[in-house]
Every structure is written in structure tokens, then in C-alpha cells.
A and B are shown apart, each in its own frame.
Chain A
Amino acid sequence: MRVDRFRYCGRFMLVALTVGALALSAPPASAADEAGVATPVVADQALEDQVQELSHKLRCLVCQNQSIAESHAPLAVDLRNQVREQLAAGKSEDDVLTYLVDRYGDFVLYEPPFKAITLLLWGGPAVLLLGGAGWLALRLRRRQIEAAAQRHLTDAERARARSMLAGESPATADRPSAEEPRS
């Protein structure tokens, strides 16, 4: 029974999809702005931009694949208000992030911090890339060596090849030809 926590996700995703579909069929936003339709009314645009920017870095704990800037879950609204309140009170962005991490853990950050426990997460791709490149280089070199080794025929092989090319085919002479009927 996790209904209360997550019921907003589905509902608002549906709304978001609908709005998205409408937005696709609607004229571009700039046209709407020129027509004076969607002008946001905020007291302090700079603050609001800052809130927006910071909110995009924060994960909504209810709808976990959305930032608190995108999510409409009540908790996201609360957290956005917290961000706004604290920035307005003159706190730095780092202060606000620390405030939220203290309460919700690193999980609230969309970009996980680089520390011992996330070493594999951050270093993993590089390790895989280097490992893959090393493996590839090794394989290529081995193949080159093998190919080089095959290029040098012994004198006996050379003589055999020459005789084969000349039409005296000792290898096929004692075998029945495939074209001949066997019965």
C-alpha cells in the first residue's frame, strides 16, 4: 500500500503528457509570449531563475525520475518553496543543497557526489572504456602477429603451392570429385 506516496506521479505524468501533446500542436512559446499570454508574474525574476536552476538539480523523492522543478507532487512543491525561502533569506546555493542532503541524503541530488561509495559509479565507465580499449589493442596485435606468421611459407609449402598452381594437383587426385555421381 504505497498509494499515498505515489498517486501524484501517475496523475501528473498524465497531465504532463497531455500538456506536452498540446504544446506540440500549439504555436511555439515565443509566439505566445509576444501575444502577452504566458508572462509569469513573479516579484523577483532573478530569484525565481535561481530557484528554477537549483530545483533542476534536486530529485523529487516521490516521483523519483523527476526533479523537484518538474514534479507536481506536493512534496516537490514544499521543497521548491523551501529552496525559494532560503535563497530569499540570503543563503547560498550550497547551504540549500546541504540543508536538503542533511534531511533526504545524497539521493536528493540528481548528480551524485564523488566519494568512496560512488567511486565505481563515476570511475566505472572510464574503467570499462580503458579495459575495452586495452583488450581491443591486445586482440589486434595478436591477430597481426598471427597474420604475419602465416605470411611466411616454408620452402616445402612453397614448392607444393607451385606444383598446385601448375595444375598437378596431388591433393585432389586421390579423392573422388564432388561433381561425379557416386552411385
Chain B
Amino acid sequence: MKAKFLVPLFLFLVLVGFLGFGLTLDPREVPSPLIDKPAPAFRLARLDTPEQTFALDEMKGKVWLLNVWASWCVACRQEHPVLVDLARSGVVPIVGLNYKEVRGDGEIDARGLALEVETAQAIERARGWLNTHGNPYNLSVLDIDGRVGIDFGVYGVPETFLIDRDGRIRYKQIGPVTPENLKKVLLPMIEELKRAG
């Protein structure tokens, strides 16, 4: 064993390798167990016509995106132009899940607020925000208490789910959709799913 002195160096390089790989991972991106599973069913009031509801199976047969957003969400503002452009291209319908519009806002104390009052506030805020920033959504639904969000495993906003014709979740984007990630991941997947159908 002439090269015995190289052993610590070798171990060190292995350690550096592992640590270096660790740097490329984002510990905050928790892989979703819902990938390739049927999207959880929901029925929620629509933002444009709150007296009407929208249910998941109304999108059956379509490849579509479910985008979780809120007006208090700063990162949503970053991804919003990307979604507006995507909507304009008409490649894929986008449904917005407006997540805890009122009670999710850290600036507001929504405790003790009656549900009707909270809903009315949520509608006003969400509509105002879409008027200001543009509306990329075919429609948005109101998840006032975040229950549907929990069913989708949402733990931060924004999140975007790609759902196929059979209502299966095929991909989950955690954090804002960027032009780069749209081009590299989402659009190719959308094309493939459309062809497969």
C-alpha cells in the first residue's frame, strides 16, 4: 500500500462530490406524491360568477394547467406575465385556484370574519388584482379556506399542476413558472400529452 496517504484525499473528494451534488438540490422542493395520480376532485365557486361552481371533471378530455395563486403572493407577480403570454398563445387552458385570498394574507387578521364577508372580500381583491395584472385564466375558482389546496398538497404559492385528459396530475411546478422552465419542461410535456390523447 504505497498510496496509503491518498486515502484521506480520496475520502475528501468523495465528500466534496456529495456536498457538490447537494448544492444542486433544493430541499424546499418536496416531491409530490400526487404525480401520475388522479387529481383530487373539487367543486368550488367561480371567481367571475360566484353563484356558479366549477368541478374538476368539467375539464375531462383536456390537457390543462391548474395554477395556484393569490393577490398577496409576491412570487405570483413574477410568474404572472409568463402565464398571460402562455394564455395568449392558446396552447393550454389555465384554471386558477385562488388560494386563501383573504386569510392567507399575513397583513390581514381574518379570524372571526364571517364566511360571506370573507368571500366578498376575496372576490373583490382577486378581481382587482386580475384587472391590474391581466387575466390569463379561462376561469378561477375560490379556495377560501385552503382545503382544496391541502388536497393538492399545496404548501406555498404559486404552484402549478399539469393535468392530462384523464384528470391525472402529470407534473407539479413548485414556485413560479419561468419562461425557461416553461420552454424546457412544461411545453414539451403539454405537447406530448396532447399527442398521446
Contacts and interface: CB of A to CB of B under 8 A. Distances in A.
A4 B28 CA distance: 13
A104 B30 contact: yes
B182 to A, nearest CB: 16
**Dominant secondary structure of chain A at its interface with chain B:** helix
A104 to B, nearest CB: 5
A175 interface: no
Interface in A51-74: 61-62, 64, 74
A96 interface: no
Interface stretch (B54-62, B87-95, B98-106, B130-138): B98-106
Contacts of A78: 145-146, 150
B73 A104 contact: no
Interface string B50-81: 00000000000000000000001111101000
A3 interface: yes
A107 interface: yes
Contacts of B153: 103-105
Interface stretch (B16-24, B31-39, B121-129, B184-192): B31-39
Contact of A79 (B27, B76, B78, B150): B150
Given A74-B104, A78-B150, A103-B34, A1 B78 contact: yes
Contacts of A1: 74-75, 78, 175-176
Interface residues of A, number: 23
Interface stretch (A5-13, A123-131, A140-148): A5-13
Contacts of B155: 5, 61-62, 75, 104
A101 interface: yes
Contact of A64 (B28, B100, B146): B28
Interface string A1-28: 1111111100000000000000000000
A82 B151 CA distance: 11
Contact of B32 (A7, A8, A74, A105): A105
Interface of B: 27-28, 30-34, 72-76, 78, 100, 103-104, 106, 145-146, 150-153, 155-157, 175-176
Given A5-B75, A74-B103, 18 more contacts: A1-B176, A2-B175, A4-B76, A4-B156, A5-B28, A5-B156, A6-B156, A7-B106, A61-B155, A61-B156, A75-B155, A101-B33, A102-B33, A103-B33, A104-B33, A105-B30, A105-B32, A105-B33
